[in-house]
C-alpha cells in the first residue's frame, strides 16, 4: 500500500475520450461519469441555496443529476450566527447533500469548464495516500454554475481570504473570522470561550484582559447585526452566570463604512437597530473604514487603533478565483452574465444562478431568496423543457436582534420587537428542509432559553 496507486482506466471509459494530463503532483484518471445513461446529464456546481434547491427539484426520471461541491452539506445561512454562541447547534442548520435521493455527489472542487467538449474539470478535496490529489472530468448536457461567492476583504492590508483553501477561520489570521461556513462559526465559538477563559485568569494584566474581551465586528449588514445580538445575549445570560467577574468587562464594537447599519432596510428599522444595540452598550462606529488589520488590533482610517480578542469580518462578497477564470462573459464585478432565462449569454445549455450570476438588465442583490427562487425556477424550466423568464418575488428582509427582538421589512409592512421576532423564527422554521431539523431547532431554542448555552471548548 505504500507505493503510488495505479492509474486505472475504468472498464466503462470509452477509448475515444481525451486523457487529461493534470498537474504533476496529481493522479490522472479517465474522464467520464460511471452513471452515464440515456437520461440527459445535468451537472450542478455548488450546493448553496441555488444548487441545493435545483438538485432537489429536478425530475430524476428525466435527468441524470450530478453535484460537485467541496462541502458535503447545504447550509441554512440565516441561522448561522445563532450557532456562534451555541443558541443553536451546528448540525441542525445544515442538510447533507446525500439526503437528496437519486443524485450523484462528488466531494470535489470544480477547477475549469471546457465548454467546447462539454465537460468540467474537477479536483478531489482529499490528498490520496501515495499519490497526489485526484483530477477527473465530468461530462454534461446541461451545466448549472451555482458556486456562490467568497467573503471580501476589499484588499485591506494584513488580511487575506483563505476561504478557497478551507482555513478554519476563513482568513489568514487565527483571531479574525469570516462568518460564511459552519467551520467559521465553530472557530468563533471556540475563540469566544477561549477569550473568556483567558481573561478569567487572575494572572493576566488589565490591558490584556481588556483586549481579550473586546469584540470587533466589521460590517453592518444582517450577518453582523445578528452575530452582535447573539453575542450580547450570550454575555447577558451566560457569561454573567459562569464568568460572573467578567460580566461588565466586555466591549463590543461594530464598524461600518456606510452611514447606517442595515443600509438596505427602511431607515425607521435601521434607526431602531442602532438604538437597540446602543442600549446594550454596543459601540457603533459608522462612517468608519478599517485601514489595516494587525495581529491583535484593527486600525481605522483616522488612525485609531483598536486592540481586539475576536474580530468578525462580514463586509460583503467577492468573486471566487474559479469564476474569475471562466471562459464565459463576466460583469465588471466578476459575476457571470445571464439572460432573463438564467442561461449564460451566448452559451446554450450553460446556466448560472445565485450570487455568482447577474442579469445586467435587471440586477438583483446577493440574497438567499434570490438564489433559492432561481434554483426552483430553473428546475421547473428544465423539467418542462421550456425557457421562461425568471421573475423575482421579494419576500421581505429580516434581521434578528436576539431573544424576543428583530426587525422585519415586508416591502410595505414593517415590524419590530416581539412580533418581528416571532415572524423571523416562524419564517425560518417553515423554510427548514428536513423534519428532523424542524424538530431539533425549536428544541435548541427552548434549551438555550431555559438552560443557557454550553461553554465547553474541545
Task: Please report, as ranges, the residues that interact with its own copies according to CB under 8 A.
Answer: 1-2, 5-6, 8, 10, 29, 33-35, 71-73, 89-91, 94-96, 98-99, 105-108, 124, 126, 128-129, 134, 136, 181-183, 186, 193-194, 197-198, 200-205, 207-208, 211, 242-243, 294-297, 305, 307, 434-436, 439-440, 443, 447, 451, 454-458
| Closest to its own copies by CB, 299 or 368 | 299
Give, for 40, the enclosing helix (H) or strand (E).
strand 40-45
Least separation, in Å, of the C-beta of 200 and its own copies?
A: 8
Rounded to a whole number of angstroms, the minimum distance from the CB of residue 93 to its own copies is 10
Q: Which is nearer to its own copies, 430 or 458 (CB)?
A: 458
In whole angstroms, the minimum distance from the beta carbon of 217 to its own copies comes to 19
Residue closer to its own copies (CB basis): 79 or 108: 108
Cell 431568496 belongs to residue: 369
Nearer to its own copies, 90 or 394 (CB): 90
Instruction: Return the number of the residue (107 or 331) whose C-beta is nearest its own copies.
Output: 107
Helix (H) or strand (E) holding 440: helix 435-451
Cβ closest to its own copies, residue 193 vs residue 406: 193
Pairing of strands 310-313, 176-177: parallel
Ordered DSSP codes for 123-171? EEEEEPTTS-EEEEEEE-SEEEE----EE--TT-TT--B-GGGT-SSSB
Give burial (CB, 10 Å; 0-12/13-18/19+) of 282.
buried
Nearer to its own copies, 37 or 287 (CB): 37
Q: What's the min distance (Å) between Cβ of 33 and its own copies?
A: 7
Residue 108 contacts residue 124 (beta carbons within 8 Å):
yes
Distance CA 31, CA 19 (A): 7
Q: How near is the Cβ of 435 to its own copies at its closest, in Å?
A: 7
Report the nearest approach of its own copies to the CB of residue 441 (Å): 12
Q: How far apart are CA 68 and CA 44, in angstroms?
A: 6
Closer to its own copies by CB, 243 or 272: give it. 243
Orientation angle between helical segments 435-451 and 418-431, nearest 10 degrees? 150
CB of 89 vs its own copies, minimal distance in Å: 7
Nearer to its own copies, 413 or 458 (CB): 458
CB 120 within 8 A of CB 43: yes
Task: Give min distance, CB of 341 to its own copies, in A.
Answer: 32
C-alpha cell read off for 96: 447533507
CB of 126: closest distance to its own copies in angstroms? 5
Considering the complex, state which of residue 242 and residue 428 has its C-beta at the smaller distance from its own copies: 242
Strands (E), 172-228: 176-177, 214-218
Nearer to its own copies, 197 or 340 (CB): 197
Closer Cβ to its own copies, 201 or 267, answer by number: 201
| Least distance from its own copies to the Cβ atom of residue 186, Å | 7
CB of 67 to its own copies, least distance (A): 12
Residue with cell 496507486: 5
Minimum gap (Å) between residue 205 Cβ and its own copies = 5
**Which candidate, 168, 158, 162, 271, places its Cα nearest to that of 218?**
158
Reference 458, options 197, 162, 173, 114; nearest CA is 197
Residue with cell 472498464: 11
Closest CA to 287 of 298, 271, 302: 302
Write out the three cell numbers for 152.
471580501
Amino acid at each position: 500500500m505504500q507505493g503510488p496507486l495505479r492509474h486505472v482506466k475504468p472498464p466503462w471509459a470509452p477509448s475515444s475520450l481525451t486523457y487529461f494530463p493534470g498537474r504533476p503532483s496529481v493522479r490522472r484518471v479517465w474522464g467520464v461519469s460511471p452513471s452515464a445513461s440515456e437520461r440527459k446529464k445535468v451537472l450542478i456546481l455548488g450546493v448553496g441555496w441555488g444548487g441545493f434547491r435545483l438538485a432537489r427539484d429536478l425530475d430524476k426520471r428525466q435527468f441524470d443529476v450530478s453535484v460537485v461541491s467541496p462541502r458535503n452539506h447545504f447550509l441554512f445561512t440565516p441561522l448561522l450566527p445563532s450557532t456562534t454562541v451555541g443558541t443553536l447547534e451546528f448540525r441542525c442548520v445544515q442538510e447533507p447533500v446525500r439526503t437528496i435521493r437519486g443524485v450523484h455527489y462528488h466531494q470535489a472542487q470544480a477547477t475549469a469548464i471546457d465548454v467546447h467538449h462539454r465537460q468540467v474539470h474537477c479536483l478531489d478535496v482529499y490528498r490520496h495516500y501515495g499519490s497526489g490529489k485526484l483530477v477527473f472530468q465530468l461530462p454534461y448536457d446541461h451545466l448549472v454554475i451555482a458556486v456562490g461567492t467568497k467573503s471580501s476583504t476589499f484588499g485591506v492590508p494584513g488580511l487575506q481570504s483563505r476561504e478557497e483553501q478551507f482555513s478554519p477561520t476563513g482568513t489568514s489570521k487565527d483571531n479574525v473570522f469570516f462568518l460564511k461556513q459552519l467551520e467559521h462559526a465553530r472557530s468563533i465559538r471556540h475563540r469566544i470561550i477561549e477569550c473568556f477563559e483567558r481573561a478569567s485568569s487572575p494572572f493576566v494584566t488589565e490591558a490584556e484582559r481588556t483586549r481579550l474581551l473586546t469584540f470587533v465586528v466589521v460590517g453592518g449588514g444582517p450577518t453582523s447585526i445578528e452575530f452582535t445580538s447573539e453575542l450580547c445575549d450570550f454575555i447577558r445570560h451566560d457569561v454573567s452566570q459562569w464568568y460572573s467577574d467578567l460580566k461588565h468587562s466586555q466591549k463590543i464594537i461594530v464598524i461600518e463604512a456606510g452611514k447606517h447599519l442595515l443600509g438596505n432596510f427602511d431607515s425607521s428599522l435601521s434607526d431602531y437597530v442602532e438604538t437597540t444595540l446602543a442600549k446594550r452598550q454596543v459601540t457603533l462606529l459608522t462612517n468608519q473604514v478599517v485601514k489595516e488589520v494587525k495581529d491583535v488590533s484593527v486600525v481605522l482610517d483616522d488612525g485609531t487603533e483598536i486592540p481586539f480578542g475576536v474580530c468578525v469580518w462580514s463586509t460583503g462578497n467577492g468573486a471566487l478565483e474559479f469564476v474569475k477564470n471562466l471562459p464565459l462573459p463576466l460583469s465588471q464585478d466578476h459575476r457571470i452574465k445571464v439572460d432573463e432565462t438564467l442561461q449564460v449569454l451566448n452559451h446554450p445549455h450553460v446556466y448560472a444562478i445565485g450570487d455568482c450570476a447577474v442579469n445586467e438588465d435587471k440586477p438583483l442583490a446577493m440574497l438567499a431568496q434570490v438564489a433559492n427562487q432561481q434554483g426552483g425556477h430553473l428546475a421547473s424550466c428544465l423539467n418542462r423543457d421550456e425557457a421562461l423568464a425568471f421573475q423575482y418575488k421579494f419576500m421581505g428582509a429580516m434581521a434578528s436582534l436576539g431573544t424576543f427582538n428583530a426587525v422585519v421589512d415586508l416591502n410595505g409592512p414593517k415590524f419590530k420587537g416581539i412580533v418581528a421576532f416571532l415572524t423571523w423564527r416562524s419564517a425560518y422554521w417553515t423554510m427548514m428542509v428536513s423534519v428532523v431539523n424542524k424538530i431539533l431547532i425549536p428544541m435548541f431554542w427552548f434549551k438555550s432559553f431555559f438552560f443557557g448555552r454550553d461553554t465547553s471548548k474541545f
